[in-house]
Structure 1
C-alpha cells in the first residue's frame, strides 16, 4: 500500500483484477501527487465508492464476474460527478463505443505508457472540473442530473434540454436550492413559495418532491440529492449522498 499524499490533487479508484497492474498504477499515481485506492473487482469497487468520495475511476473493461461496462454504468448513475476512464486489453471499436455510451469520459487501451495515463487523468479532471464550475453559480445550481437556472425559472437536463416543471415545483426546488444541507419542514417550504396556492393539509409537498426526484435524481428510487429527513422534512444535498 502506497503512502498517500497529505493533500492529494485528486482521489482515484483503480479497478483491475490484475494485482500487479493495480500496484503499478497506484504507485505511479501516488508519485504524481494523487491518492490511489485499488479494487480487485466490480463488487469491491462498489463498496469503496459507497464508503468514500472519488474524483475519478480507472476501470478495466474485461474482469471476471461483473465487467467494467456494467460497473461504469453504475458509477455514472449513482455518482454523476465522478470522472471515468475505461481500460482494456482489447483495442476494439465496439469496446470504445459501448464504454463511451455508458458514460465514460475517456478510453485507454492496454498496454499503455503510465505517462500517457497520467496525462489523460489530468486532462479529464481538468475538463470535468471546468464543466462543474461553469454549471454551478450563485443563481445556477446543479441538482442531480440537472441545473436549476433560478432567474430564468428553468430546469435544464444533462443534454441541455429544458425539463417541464410547474410553478409550484419550481418554488419547491428553489427553496431547497437556496438552503443547501439545511432540512426544511413542509411548512417552511410552503412559506418560501406561493403559499396561498398550496394546501398544507394534503400531501402536496410530498407529491411534488416525488415528481421532482424523477426529473433530477439518477435513481429516483434511491434519492441522493433531495433527501427525506425523518420528522423534519426535506434537504438538498449538493454533493449527493449514497442511500
Structure 2
C-alpha cells in the first residue's frame, strides 16, 4: 500500500529528487509551491505525511501551513525541511506543530528512514479499542481523530508526539510511567539518564493544558521515577454523544 505525501516546496530540482527517491520507496507524492494551495489540499484530501519547506517566497512561510495542518489534520505526520537550521529555528518549527525538522542540504537516506519511522509510530499509536473517546478535567480526547478539545469545543493543537504522550498517560490508570517507557512508546527509541527530550516534551504538553486549567496539575512528576496522570479519565459512551 502506498503512503500519500504532500510536498510543500518551491525548489523544483529538489522536488524531482523527491520523486525519484521517494516513489521507489512506496510513497505517492502530491506537490505544491504555495501555502494557500497546500491548505486547500489537506482540507480536502488525506495525507499520511507532509514535507514542508519554511522559506517559500516573499509572502509565503511554510510554518503558517504547519500551524494550520496541525489543527485540521492532527493525525498527519509533519516534517519540516529547511535551510534555516539554527537551534531556535528547529525549536520554533516543533512548537508550531512539526514532528521532525531536517536541515538542508538533505541526506535522502536519512529523510526516507525518518519519514518511515514517523509513519510507523503514528500507525502504531492509532487506537483500535472501544474507548476511542474519553474525557478528563473538562477535556475531550478523540483517539481516532487524534484531537484534543475542551468540553466547549475549542481545539488544542498538539504535535503528534504530544498527542501520543497524552494517550500514554491517560491509559496508564494513574500508574507512574518511567522516562524510558515514554521514550520507547512515544519516540520509538531508547532513553539515557542525560536525555532531557522526554522532560521537554512533557513540559510542552503541560503548558498547553495549563492554559485551560491553570490551577490543576494534570501531569505529575514522581521524583526519580517518571510521570503519572493526575485526573480521572472516563470513556464517553455513544448515548452521551447524542
1:23-102 correspondence to structure 2 within 5 Å? 23-64=16-57, 65-102=59-96
Corresponding residue for 1:182?
none
More strand by share: 2
Contact 2:8 2:51 in 1 (8 A): yes
- Deviation, structure 1 residue 163: 11
Contact 1:19 1:40 in 2 (8 A): no
Pick aligned residue for 2:15 from 6, 19, 22: 22
The TM-score with structure 2 as length reference comes to 0.58
Pick aligned residue for 2:100 from 96, 101, 106: 106
Contact 1:26 1:37 in 2 (8 A): no
- Deviation, structure 1 residue 137: 1.5
- Deviation, structure 1 residue 81: 0.2
How far apart are the structure 1 equivalents of 2:65 and 2:230? 28
How far apart are the structure 2 equivalents of 1:112 and 1:22? 12
Higher relative contact order (CA 8 A, sep 6+): 2
Contact 1:84 1:106 in 2 (8 A): yes
1:129 aligns with 2:150: no
SS at 1:132 equivalent: coil
- Deviation, structure 1 residue 70: 1.1
- Deviation, structure 1 residue 25: 0.8
Quote the RMSD (CA, aligned, Å).
Answer: 2.9
How far apart are the structure 1 equivalents of 2:54 and 2:86? 11
How far apart are the structure 2 equivalents of 1:15 and 1:89? 14
How far apart are the structure 1 equivalents of 2:40 and 2:230? 33
Rg larger in structure: 1
How far apart are the structure 2 equivalents of 1:43 and 1:163? 41
